[in-house]
Chain A
């Protein structure tokens, strides 16, 4: 449980956050300049803040950063350039060696231990930053876009693992990527102009996020379960997904750009997923494009279409449509 009731004065910028985040993974979303990173820095004790900051019932405010035990991974990761990967991870290590070895193994860093940070790729750097923060046995993880540079292969492995280590270690997770948010987080905190715009369970708050974060990737996130038949089962149906999916609880993301709509059931099409759906509403984005919100498979999904296409198909609220998704356009995020 993270309880925030604080005001942060960052020069020209003022941030006021009152939130009770009773979830173990919370995505912090908002447009650039809304105060996401500032909030994490204040929790870490790196910026003066008035008010109270509580994590797991313990008050952190008023303590210097070294006594807060937070695992902070800034956006640029900030690995110590004069230390190799091993010494970076060991810098603030509080966990016993076998636990650290386990972290190194899961984040696939064993081969990198003797390397200098400036020889690492962006994704490798972020994994080292995560390992360094985790080795210090934090009471909360503050991650500023931690997976932005991590490639998809590693991401699909790290995400379930970060979820597995959750018990007792809440994660506050700043992101621009809704797929990442939905994959990791159960709750979202949406900031706008230094204030809390919305907070609550991720499914409910992400709609609010679309409205305030114009540069947010317009990902649809579908939650369900991959079963032994290799299909991704959701509330009322199943989707074909790329082969070889590991069975279990899963979430897939698909960009709004990659969903096609048709007024008749298409035939002779290579796309594996053709679903019956119903148009809920059409939201204009600008002079040329719009987001068509449809209901399918018990989810609300968004397709990005040009105005010309919407006119041609005479789409309107409540119209029945068919929704077309290539199986390969579905990215597993959990």
Chain B
């Protein structure tokens, strides 16, 4: 049971760090996509949607090649003593990449609902682009943005394919709930696997239900 507890806390911790890492770039990308039209937007949108449609193992493979010690980025990370592959950081990076598009999409939809006129008025009243964003766009889009963060968090909780390739499945080090369920099934510990399945169902239910509540409140307010 202590093993279970460790797995759950590590999974929640990794998902939380991953969501925190993507929060600012994800919201910024959503805002950019909501406010801009044109070719760059279409290209960026397609690129950002890739993790949603590619097999997670394919994304994991690409990340592994990028981040391994002899990889393009891994080389740099190695030189600043920041190993990623087969560490908890690998879990965070894999889940961050996989959940990023979900946050961007929710944020974009929420920002698209903000009347651009309001941002224009804010500018004429002396607000810079950044302060129009923080004082007008963000407060008005806060429910959709929060829902996006929760969705990304939920996705991070259950990520498997990319995580196993980048971080491996090391007990007590990189093993998340999804990896542990797989591992226990493999070794025939079905009871242990089912216990963890129960925990993931509860966690996922809580996260998705909170998201629904937030989004529901938004449509009721309109």
Instruction: Name A residues whose Cβ lies closer than 8 Å to a Cβ of B.
Output: 41, 44-46, 64-66, 68-72, 74, 76, 78, 80-82, 91-92, 94, 132-133, 136
Instruction: Name B residues whose Cβ lies closer than 8 Å to a Cβ of A.
Output: 115, 117-118, 120-129, 135-136, 139-140
What are 7 pairs between A and B in contact, CB < 8 Å?
Answer: A41-B120, A65-B120, A80-B122, A81-B140, A132-B121, A133-B125, A136-B126
Minimum distance in angstroms from A224 CB to a CB of chain B: 37
Nearest chain-A residue to B115 (Cβ)?
Answer: A78
Question: CB within 8 A of A72: which of B115, B118, B121, B135?
Answer: B121
B139 touching A92 by the CB < 8 A rule? no
B128 touching A66 by the CB < 8 A rule? yes
A10 CA / B94 CA spacing, docked (Å): 44
Cβ of A46: which chain B residues have Cβ within 8 Å of it? 120, 123-124
Minimum distance in angstroms from A317 CB to a CB of chain B: 49
A74 touching B139 by the CB < 8 A rule? no
A132 touching B125 by the CB < 8 A rule? yes
If A81-B140, A82-B140 touch, does A74 touch B121 (CB 8 Å cutoff)?
Answer: yes
A332 CA / B139 CA spacing, docked (Å): 43
Cβ of A72: which chain B residues have Cβ within 8 Å of it? 120-121, 124
B140 touching A66 by the CB < 8 A rule? no
A94 CA / B139 CA spacing, docked (Å): 23
Question: CB within 8 A of B123: which of A45, A80, A133?
Answer: A45
Cβ of A92: which chain B residues have Cβ within 8 Å of it? 122, 124-127
Cβ of B126: which chain A residues have Cβ within 8 Å of it? 66, 69, 92, 94, 136
Cβ of B136: which chain A residues have Cβ within 8 Å of it? 80, 82
A80 CA / B123 CA spacing, docked (Å): 13
Minimum distance in angstroms from B8 CB to a CB of chain A: 37
Cβ of B140: which chain A residues have Cβ within 8 Å of it? 81-82
Cβ of B115: which chain A residues have Cβ within 8 Å of it? 78
A66 touching B120 by the CB < 8 A rule? no
Minimum distance in angstroms from B40 CB to a CB of chain A: 18
A74 touching B123 by the CB < 8 A rule? no
A78 touching B118 by the CB < 8 A rule? yes
A70 touching B117 by the CB < 8 A rule? no
A146 CA / B127 CA spacing, docked (Å): 22
If A80-B136, A82-B140 touch, does A74 touch B120 (CB 8 Å cutoff)?
Answer: yes
A46 CA / B123 CA spacing, docked (Å): 9
The listed residue with most B CB atoms (<10 A of its CB), out of A44, A74, A78, is A78
Cβ of A80: which chain B residues have Cβ within 8 Å of it? 118, 121-122, 136
Cβ of A66: which chain B residues have Cβ within 8 Å of it? 123-128
Cβ of A64: which chain B residues have Cβ within 8 Å of it? 123, 128-129
If A81-B140, A82-B139, A82-B140 touch, does A76 touch B117 (CB 8 Å cutoff)?
Answer: yes
Cβ of A41: which chain B residues have Cβ within 8 Å of it? 120
A74 CA / B124 CA spacing, docked (Å): 11
Minimum distance in angstroms from B16 CB to a CB of chain A: 28
Minimum distance in angstroms from B110 CB to a CB of chain A: 13
A45 CA / B122 CA spacing, docked (Å): 12
A78 touching B121 by the CB < 8 A rule? yes
Cβ of B122: which chain A residues have Cβ within 8 Å of it? 80, 91-92
Nearest chain-B residue to A67 (Cβ)?
Answer: B126
The listed residue with most B CB atoms (<10 A of its CB), out of A41, A45, A65, A80, is A65
Minimum distance in angstroms from A1 CB to a CB of chain B: 20
Minimum distance in angstroms from A39 CB to a CB of chain B: 15
Cβ of A136: which chain B residues have Cβ within 8 Å of it? 124-126
A70 CA / B124 CA spacing, docked (Å): 6
Cβ of A76: which chain B residues have Cβ within 8 Å of it? 117
Minimum distance in angstroms from A80 CB to a CB of chain B: 6
Minimum distance in angstroms from A103 CB to a CB of chain B: 14
Cβ of A82: which chain B residues have Cβ within 8 Å of it? 136, 139-140
Nearest chain-A residue to B125 (Cβ)?
Answer: A92
B117 touching A44 by the CB < 8 A rule? no
Nearest chain-A residue to B117 (Cβ)?
Answer: A78
Cβ of B128: which chain A residues have Cβ within 8 Å of it? 64, 66
A194 CA / B124 CA spacing, docked (Å): 24
Nearest chain-A residue to B132 (Cβ)?
Answer: A66
Cβ of B121: which chain A residues have Cβ within 8 Å of it? 72, 74, 78, 80, 132
B125 touching A91 by the CB < 8 A rule? yes
